[in-house]
Amino acid sequence: MFKILNMQFLNPTIFRMDVEAPMVARACLPGQFVIVRSNDEAERIPLTICDYDREKGSVTIVVQIIGAGTKILSEMKAGDSLADFVGPLGQPSDLVTDDIEEVKKKKIVFVAGGLGTAPVYPQVKWLKEHGVDADVIIGAKNKDILIMEEEFKSVATNLYITTDDGSYGRTGMVTKCLEDLVTAEGKAYDHCVSIGPMIMMKFVCALTEKLGIHTVVSMNPIMVDGTGMCGACRCSVEGKTKFACVDGPEFDGHKVNWDEAMRRSGMYREWEAKEKEARA
């Protein structure tokens, strides 16, 4: 059993959970994920690691309430225990495994949207700790659902907030912010990491391909089992079949078949809606 050390809602549908998991905390790296089960009968939920503390033996996950499984997790509190917290799984980010001197030469920008803001954080934090600069763009529909702004202020070289409705920061989507930075404000980037909703990542990749910026994306949204057994997270990358959970979750965004990936991401939407309604 894995004790919940802290439970905090960041907005009405997204919450942060700090979990006592010493073995995972000792081994994990930015970009990897864990499989979580709230109880012995619950579904397996793959969740990208948001932060970790090796000394305390804790791992932080940030979860959005979408279906029945995440609704159950949201009803737990500090002091409760999770049945399973398995990891680290998947491949770490290239930025933390490549030669650090080569990484320092890159001009890096992270583009995060919605829940994707959480898995961006450990990468930017790791880079900061190793003397690597990185700009960060965070997008949200409005100010009320923006998450982790204060955390990013302490690790990003430059932080740009943009909201669809203009209620906070810049106005418009993350793609507009990135394009403005490059074409109107003189920013130069050669490496982009984009994590967020599938549609956001697709359009970020369309823009960065036009701008000539190498782009990495996380295919975590299509993962189910997390071990390569179920095949639900198959995606085509440069015409080859890859599994997000074992080969990724990060891939070259310019080589992903986005139309196929977006169809796959909606496979369980109807089932989840029914389960959620049954628990209401």
Cite the DSSP H helix spans in the chain.
22-27, 68-74, 94-97, 100-103, 117-129, 149-153, 174-183, 198-211, 244-247, 258-265, 269-279
Quote the DSSP letter at residue 128: H
**Which 3 state secondary structure label does DSSP give 84?**
strand
40-99 per-position pLDDT tens digit: 888 888 889 999 999 999 999 999 988 888 899 999 999 999 999 988 998 899 999 999
Is residue 280 a part of any domain in this protein?
no
Tokens 């998991």 sit on residue = 21
CA 138/CA 148 separation, integer angstroms: 9
Same domain, 138 and 247: no
Same domain, 28 and 60: yes
Query: What is the amino acid identity at position 59?
Result: V
Stated pTM of the model: 0.87
Q: What is the pLDDT of residue 228?
A: 58
Same domain, 50 and 131: no
Structural domain count of the chain? 3
Listing DSSP states for 228-255 in one string gives SSS-TTEEEETTEEEEHHHH-SEEEGGG
Is residue 157 a part of any domain in this protein?
yes
Same domain, 108 and 171: yes
Is residue 53 a part of any domain in this protein?
yes
Quote the DSSP letter at residue 256: B
Residues 6+ apart with CB under 8 A from 13: 64, 65, 145
Quote the DSSP letter at residue 70: H
Is residue 276 a part of any domain in this protein?
no
Tokens 């907030």 sit on residue = 161
- Average model confidence (pLDDT) across the chain: 87
Q: Which domain holds residue 223?
A: 219-269
CATH number, position 152: 3.40.50.80
Same domain, 170 and 184: yes
Same domain, 124 and 64: no
Is residue 46 a part of any domain in this protein?
yes
158-194 per-position pLDDT tens digit: 999 999 999 998 999 999 999 999 999 999 999 999 9
Confidence of residue 223 (pLDDT cuts 50, 70, 90): low
Query: What is the amino acid identity at position 263?
Result: R
List strands edge to edge, sheet with 45-53.
Answer: 81-82, 2-11, 14-20, 58-64, 45-53, 33-37, 84-89
Is residue 52 a part of any domain in this protein?
yes
Out of 63, 89, 115, a domain closes at 89
